[in-house]
Each structure stands twice: as structure tokens, then as C-alpha cells.
Amino acid sequence: MGVRPPARLFAPAAAVVCLFAALPVLSGDLTGTSWRLVNIASMDDRVHVPEKPSHYTLEFRTDGAAAILADCNRATGVWASEAPGQLRFGPVAATGALCEPGSLSEMYLAQFEWVRSYVLQDGRLFLATMADGSIIEFEPLGGAPLAATVLGEEVRTADANEMQQTILSRLFDDYAATHGIEVTDAEIESFTEKLKRGSQADALTAENDLTPEDAARIDAMRREMARSMIRQWKINRQLYRAYGGRVIYQQLGPEPLDAYRQFFEERRQAGAFTIHEKAFEGPFWRYFTDDSMHSFVAPGSEASAFEVPPWEK
């Protein structure tokens, strides 16, 4: 298995523009729903069916965020639906773990920037893309067994990866609140200016043709992405300072892998979360213990990954 080169911290500038010109306007029939992948049907009549459908999920959160599980990877983004049947996703930032052969992780994640519409039929969700006319079919999550509890919240799922994503999200939120980790307007401005300069350097001029209203909407989406990525970078820096250890490359920025493992182990021992489904214990910890999944920062240079915030470089 080859070594994955360092991923870019920022989503590509093209993805930021990518014809997405809507604020997080939420459609009531999608808000708060969660789905698992059934298949991806392409225009060439090929149908890609995941070996483990529950390893591929999509959650439409009430705040306009999209939480995605793509096999061994986690991803976040924003979604907007200005009217029933209309749907677009903003840039999706994902972890870069190497999944097992046969995984649909990369194919699945690649679909979201092209989604333009959806249909709810017979209890299932169908997303349609504009690129090659792919149809992505989902079935609802629900009625799943109790897999874990985290900070008093039940996590009901039949999939270990989905359980892990929920636990990590809740614990990171709690850590940020407990340690007063916040994102300032100045940091968001610096981050979004960096994205704009990247667009100009790449000779991307799509925004020049937008109306003032659409330009404002894209800027609002950039700011939401900036807030999420800056907060996670600050969480990672704080955890590294507290625990040290090895650091890995990810698209969302450097991750203090060993610090993660120690932090989550401490939280487990303190009763912050409990995994009730014992078969999920191994999969939960694999991300933090299986070195073959990651590309590591060179030994001795870990601290430099958190010296200067990426939005100030």
C-alpha cells in the first residue's frame, strides 16, 4: 500500500464556487433525516452496490450541515434546498483514510458536488446529479439497535462507522465548549480571503458573472465552511498541546492521531461514552490504532503543523 501524499487543507477553490449559489435554505421534508446508501446507478447502466450499505450514510442536520459517512472516511459539508425537489451541496471536506479494496468511498463522495435534485418515493430518497445523470438511492435509517451512549444521548445504529462518527462529533462539540474554543470574525475573514485569492490564482472567474445576491450567498457559504474548519483546527491544536504524539495529514488539516486516542480513552474511562455493542469496539478504535490507514507528518516536525494557523499563512 503506497503512502498517500499530504492532502490540501482547504477544499479546492473550484469546489467552493462549483455553481453553488444558495444560502442554507432548508426543506422541511429533508431536515433532520438520516439515510443509508442503497446503490449508485450511472447513465452507462452500471449499478454500484456497497457491500455494507450502513457504511455509507447521509444526515441532513437542522443547522444546514451535512454529515456523511463514506466507508472508512468521515465528511462534512453544507446543504441547501430552496424548494421541494431542489437540492445542492456545498464543498465536502473528508478525511483521507485508505479504505479496503472494493470500497465505494471515493465514488460516493464525488457525487455530492453534482447533485441538483431529489425525489422522495415509497419511503426512499433518490438524488439526481447533473454530471452524468447518476441516481443515488438511499433508504432511511431508523429502528436501529442501541449501539452506544455519548454524553447521555443514545446512539442507535447497526453500523460501527456511523456510531463512531456520532460519538466523535458530540465529544468534539463538548470539548470546544468546555475549553472556550471559538472562531472570531477576523479569522473567518482571513480564511475566506485566502479562498478568494486561491480562486483568482486558479483563474476561476465564475463568480464574476453572479448577481450581487448570488455572490452574497456564496460568501455566506464560505463563511460557514471557514467557521467549521477553523474550529476543528483549534480543537486539534489544543489536543496536540495537551497530549503530544504523532500527527497525520488530512484534508481538514493536520490531525493529532495519538492525542485523539488518548483523549477518547480518557473520556471513555470518565463515562462520557459507552459502546454497548461489543462488536463495535474494534472498529471504533481502528482509526486511531491502524497506522496503515494514514500518512504521517515527518517525525520531529509535528509541532510545526500547529505553529501558524493555515488561514494566516
Phi, psi values for residue 200, rounded to 5°: -65, -40
pLDDT for res 143: 61
Grid cell digits, residue 282: 474494534
Exposed (0-12), middle (13-18) or buried (19+): which is 123, by Cβ within 10 Å? exposed
The dihedral through the CA atoms of 62, 108, 166, 261 has a sign that is negative
* Stretch 276-285: mean pLDDT: 95
pLDDT for res 277: 93
Grid cell digits, residue 188: 473567518
Higher pLDDT, 123 or 221: 123
* Stretch 50-62: mean pLDDT: 89
Beta strand extents in the chain (DSSP E only): 34-41, 47-48, 56-60, 65-70, 73-80, 88-89, 93-94, 115-121, 124-129, 135-140, 146-150, 153-156, 273-275
Q: For the chain, how far is it from start to end, CA to CA, in angstroms?
A: 32
Q: Which amino acid is located at 52 in the chain?
A: K
User: How far apart (Å, rounded) are the C-alpha atoms in residues 99 and 292?
Assistant: 10
When mean pLDDT is compared across 20-24, 95-99, 150-154, 266-270, the lowest value belongs to 20-24
Nearest to 95 by CA among 168, 200, 35: 168
Angle at 37 between CA 33 and CA 42, to 5 degrees: 125
Domains along the sequence of the chain with CATH = 13-140 (2.40.128.270), 146-312 (no CATH)
* Stretch 163-182: mean pLDDT: 94
Grid cell digits, residue 20: 453553488
For residue 277, the tally of other CB atoms under 10 A from its CB is: 18
pLDDT over 70 percentage in the chain: 85
Exposed (0-12), middle (13-18) or buried (19+): which is 166, by Cβ within 10 Å? buried
Of the pLDDT bands very low, low, confident and very high (cuts 50, 70, 90), residue 198 is: low
Nearest to 60 by CA among 76, 79, 74, 87: 79
User: How far apart (Å, rounded) are the C-alpha atoms in residues 104 and 311?
Assistant: 32
Top-ranked range on mean pLDDT: pick from 4-8, 12-16, 38-42, 209-213: 38-42
pLDDT, the chain, mean: 83
Angle between helices 281-289 and 257-269 (to 10 degrees): 150
- DSSP state for residue 206 in the 8-state scheme: G
Tell me the per-residue pLDDT of 108-142, one tens digit each, with 9 for 90 and over. 999 999 999 999 988 899 999 986 689 999 998 86
Answer yes or no: is pLDDT of 295 > 60.
yes
Grid cell digits, residue 149: 451512549
Of the pLDDT bands very low, low, confident and very high (cuts 50, 70, 90), residue 229 is: confident
Answer yes or no: is pLDDT of 291 > 80.
yes
For residue 149, the tally of other CB atoms under 10 A from its CB is: 16
Do the Cβ atoms of 78 and 225 come closer than 8 Å?
yes
User: How far apart (Å, rounded) are the C-alpha atoms in residues 45 and 312?
Assistant: 47
Higher pLDDT, 32 or 311: 32
Higher pLDDT, 15 or 39: 39
For residue 108, the tally of other CB atoms under 10 A from its CB is: 25
276 vs 36, 84, 92, 155, 179, CA distance in Å?
A: 21, 38, 31, 10, 28
When mean pLDDT is compared across 82-86, 167-171, 272-276, the lowest value belongs to 82-86
| Locus of grid cell 497506522 | 291
- CA 154 to mean position of chain CA atoms: 21
